[in-house]
């Protein structure tokens, strides 16, 4: 055992933002608890993580608590709002497979002292707890969770890894195999879905749940009651007869989501399956072996690349003007009060906490938009995500009106969310410009139209900027910020500052048809639509992209809406007629007002099938041929976008496709995947990276 600590000290890196473990003794009636607080010395925007030095610090604190005869029990918690966000990947990525194995074994050696140390231990999950942050709590004898904790989960499979500090064995043996499949496989492969605090308690990950205001005090009192024997914790017996069904479900999820292309997902299934009949030591050793093997895969390299994009590049957007040029935003106006406009209002009021006013053609529509925002705030209150005071304050900040002059006269930022038609948007901005100050930013949520053309007839075209959100607004991280020909630096800086305040991943985009994500998805659907119209069955085309796109193309088209997809492809066909294709079948489907290709039973809708092309000499491709042909088209389009200067670098394309289109971490987004597959060179003559 000592050997692992010596090996760990040898790989401590200066790159690690060390999370220190601070021990203090808390005296309660009849009980003294050694409270260990994890803290990396940063604010809540930089979560605690575990690298070799952080794990060694925790080990020292645990040893001290175990050696202190006055300490009856140990508890581990984190700095405000954060327990820990898992492994510090940046501190070990240069060390190769050997460093990964050392850190895997070290985590097990340190965390298991909370189980085997001879004193009861408590995990106080006071906020975000991902990966190793959740696993350190799982090793404790008992756990409490803050009801408003924003995110608990084991996201490793999304990163090309597996839960490697006990999670793959502990979770199925705590809550059962089926729930383990949800937490370890299904949620990570569903764009990194996590559990909130109350949901984690309901899931069975914690033994008690407490409110946020005095969470730590309540947890300490509860822990003392458990140690004294006043409270007895009871847990449901795990149903080991349900294991085979859970593993079958897991295999189905892996096939549908990854197409068998993720070694990590396959390995996770194996670990969950083995957890039924192996003891803890064997389970932990299997995790060590799995991490060591996965550390040598292309998927992990891609994941580390993706991780770097979202952790670093996303925080320093390429081409953004100096932040000192940004003007303050003290009031926001929104033109429109439909669903998108209402989602925007909710986001702005929650993040900026400034007055937000929705306008529409009549008061009834405006009031409906305000009612939507109020209802969503009430849902957050009911879930414990916000308190009553904040709910009241946010509701009071949202209003609806029909008079733009009265509503927008003192606004600093006005965004339109009206029908995607150039003439409509130009009319809206012409009306708004008459009633706002010359410095007020005019933002458009257009998904495809020219910012330059939209601003061309205005007196101040320099203050018009593209501000394109993705649906659902509250969930999707990406914000495409589009610079028109006349957009000035102050407007652009204000847009980036606002995007940061909204907690979005902002990427600077040149004014060009459909920008980044919708242009690439448009090319994607053009290629697939042409292939299907030429004779390949829809189901074959849909099966071609498991593990590449977040969902099959015709399922994605149904989610986006056939009419919206058609409009996007018509825009792109008009701009680039030699490359983009508008499917006659899609035109018929939109004309018939069909909203989805598949029926409730999962089968292709017979009415939709009847509208598909019936070529005299059908060309039927295999799934592999569909995939290669479509990806070649995407490689060509991405190269052209870079040559045109739509974005600064391939990294921006990948960041956009990960955060705006749900492309997977373990593929590295789009261009990294195209390079690894050899498609970049075949299609364009060179690699992206």
Cα separation, 653 vs 657, whole angstroms: 6
Is 681 one of the catalytic residues?
no
pLDDT beyond 80 at 345: yes
Question: What is the predicted pLDDT for the residue at 606?
Answer: 93
Listed in sequence order, the residues at least 6 apart from 335 whose beta carbon sits closer than 8 Å to its beta carbon are 341, 359, 404, 414, 415, 416, 417, 418, 428, 432
Question: What is the predicted pLDDT for the residue at 230?
Answer: 97
What mean pLDDT do residues 522-541 have? 96
What mean pLDDT do residues 29-49 have? 92
pLDDT beyond 90 at 450: yes
Question: What is the predicted pLDDT for the residue at 192?
Answer: 87
Question: What is the predicted pLDDT for the residue at 320?
Answer: 96
Q: How confident is the model at residue 14 (pLDDT cuts 50, 70, 90)?
A: confident
Question: What is the predicted pLDDT for the residue at 504?
Answer: 97
What mean pLDDT do residues 420-430 have? 96
Q: How confident is the model at residue 63 (pLDDT cuts 50, 70, 90)?
A: very high
540 CB-contact burial (10 Å; exposed 0-12 / middle 13-18 / buried 19+):
middle
pLDDT beyond 60 at 565: yes
Question: What is the predicted pLDDT for the residue at 664?
Answer: 87
Give the count of beta carbons closer than 10 Å to the beta carbon of residue 283: 20
Q: Which of 105, 135, 433, 462 is catalytic?
A: 135
Beta bridge partners of 685: none
Closest CA to 58 of 121, 133, 125, 111: 111
What mean pLDDT do residues 488-514 have? 97
% pLDDT > 90, the chain: 84
What mean pLDDT do residues 131-139 have? 97
CATH class of domain segment(s) 327-510:
alpha beta
What are the counts of helices (DSSP H) followed by strands (DSSP E) for the chain? 32, 17
Residue 670 near residue 663, CB atoms below 8 Å: yes
pLDDT beyond 60 at 538: yes
Fold assignment, 517-684: 1.10.1040
Quote helix, strand, coil % in the chain, to nearest 5. 50, 15, 35
Is 156 one of the catalytic residues?
yes
Question: What is the predicted pLDDT for the residue at 64?
Answer: 98
pLDDT beyond 90 at 16: no
Here the tokens at position 468 are: 């394109």
DSSP labels for 349-380? HHHH-S-EEEE-SSHHHHHHHHHHHHHHHHHH
Model confidence, pTM: 0.87
Question: What is the predicted pLDDT for the residue at 271?
Answer: 98
What are the sequence ranges of the domains in the chain? 1-154+194-236, 156-193+239-296, 327-510, 517-684
Q: Which of 156, 416, 527, 628 is catalytic?
A: 156
How confident is the model over 221-232, as pLDDT tens digits?
999 999 999 999
Give the count of beta carbons closer than 10 Å to the beta carbon of residue 33: 25
Q: Note the CATH number of domain 1-154+194-236.
A: 3.90.226.10
Cα separation, 96 vs 293, whole angstroms: 11
pLDDT beyond 60 at 1: no
Chain CA centroid to CA 403, Å: 38
Question: What is the predicted pLDDT for the residue at 17?
Answer: 81
Closest CA to 655 of 641, 672, 634: 672
pLDDT beyond 80 at 93: no
What mean pLDDT do residues 309-324 have? 93
Cα separation, 689 vs 21, whole angstroms: 40
Distances in Å between the Cα of 96 and the Cα atoms of 135, 302, 306, 543, 552 are: 23, 14, 17, 35, 35
How confident is the model over 245-296, as pLDDT tens digits?
999 999 999 998 888 889 999 999 999 999 999 999 999 999 999 999 998 8
What mean pLDDT do residues 587-601 have? 92
């Amino acid at each position: 055992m000592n050997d692992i600590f010596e090996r760990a000290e040898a790989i401590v890196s200066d790159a690690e933002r060390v999370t220190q473990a601070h021990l203090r003794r808390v005296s309660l009636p009849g009980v003294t608890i050694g409270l260990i607080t994890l803290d990396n010395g940063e604010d809540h925007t930089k979560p605690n993580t575990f690298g070799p030095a952080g794990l060694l610090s925790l080990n020292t604190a645990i040893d001290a608590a175990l050696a202190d005869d006055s300490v009856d029990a140990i508890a581990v918690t984190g700095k405000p709002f954060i327990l820990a966000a898992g492994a510090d990947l940046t501190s070990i990525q240069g060390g190769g497979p050997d460093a990964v194995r050392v850190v895997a074994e070290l985590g097990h050696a340190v965390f298991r002292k909370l189980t085997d140390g001879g004193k009861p231990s408590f995990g106080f999950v006071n906020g975000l707890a991902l990966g190793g942050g959740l696993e350190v709590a799982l090793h404790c004898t008992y756990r409490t969770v803050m009801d408003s904790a924003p995110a608990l989960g084991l996201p490793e499979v999304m990163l090309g890894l597996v839960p490697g500090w006990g999670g793959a064995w502990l979770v199925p043996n705590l809550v059962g195999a089926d729930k383990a499949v949800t937490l370890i496989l299904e949620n990570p492969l569903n764009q990194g879905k996590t559990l909130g605090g109350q949901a984690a308690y309901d899931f069975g990950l914690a033994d008690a749940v407490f409110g946020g205001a005095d969470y730590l005090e309540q947890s300490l009192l509860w822990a003392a009651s458990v140690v004294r024997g006043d409270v007895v914790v009871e847990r449901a017996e795990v149903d080991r007869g349900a294991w085979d069904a859970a593993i079958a479900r897991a295999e189905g999820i892996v096939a549908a989501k990854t197409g068998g292309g993720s070694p990590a997902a396959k390995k996770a299934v194996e670990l969950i399956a083995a957890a039924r009949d192996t003891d803890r030591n064997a389970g932990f050793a299997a995790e060590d072996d799995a991490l060591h093997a996965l550390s040598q895969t292309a998927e992990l390299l891609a994941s580390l690349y993706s991780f770097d994009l979202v952790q670093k590049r996303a925080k320093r957007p390429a081409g953004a003007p100096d932040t000192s040029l940004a003007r303050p935003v003290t009031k926001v106006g929104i033109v429109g009060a439909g669903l998108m406009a209402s989602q925007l209002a909710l986001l702005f009021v929650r993040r900026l906490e400034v007055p937000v006013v929705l306008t529409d053609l009549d008061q009834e529509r405006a009031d409906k938009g305000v009612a939507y925002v109020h209802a969503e705030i009430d849902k957050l209150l009911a879930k414990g995500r916000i308190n009553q005071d904040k709910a009241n304050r946010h509701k009071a900040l949202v209003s609806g009106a029909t008079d733009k002059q009265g509503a927008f006269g003192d606004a600093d930022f006005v965004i339109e969310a009206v029908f995607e038609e150039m003439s409509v948007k130009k009319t809206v901005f012409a009306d708004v410009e008459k009633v706002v100050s010359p410095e007020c930013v005019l933002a458009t949520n257009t998904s495809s139209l020219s910012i330059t053309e939209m601003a061309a007839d205005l007196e101040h075209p320099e203050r018009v900027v593209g501000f394109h959100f993705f649906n659902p607004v509250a969930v999707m991280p990406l914000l495409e910020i589009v610079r028109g020909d006349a957009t000035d630096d102050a407007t652009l800086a204000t847009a980036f500052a606002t995007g940061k305040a909204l907690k979005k991943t902002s990427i600077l985009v040149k004014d060009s048809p459909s920008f980044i994500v919708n242009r690439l998805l448009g090319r994607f659907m053009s290629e697939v639509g042409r292939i299907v119209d030429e004779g390949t069955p829809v189901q074959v085309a849909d099966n071609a992209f498991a593990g590449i796109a977040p969902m099959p193309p015709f399922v994605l088209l149904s989610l986006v809406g056939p009419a919206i997809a058609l409009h996007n492809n018509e825009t792109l066909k008009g701009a680039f007629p030699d490359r983009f294709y508008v499917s006659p079948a899609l035109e018929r489907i939109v004309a018939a007002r069909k909203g989805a290709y598949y029926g409730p039973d999962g089968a292709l809708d017979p009415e939709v099938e009847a509208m598909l092309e019936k070529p005299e000499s059908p060309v039927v491709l295999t799934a592999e041929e569909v995939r290669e042909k479509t990806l070649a088209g995407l490689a060509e389009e991405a190269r052209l976008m870079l040559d045109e200067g739509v974005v600064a670098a391939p990294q921006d394309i990948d960041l956009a496709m990960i955060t705006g289109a749900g492309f997977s971490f373990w593929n590295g987004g789009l261009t990294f995947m195209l390079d690894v597959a050899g498609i970049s060179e075949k299609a364009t003559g060179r690699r992206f990276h």
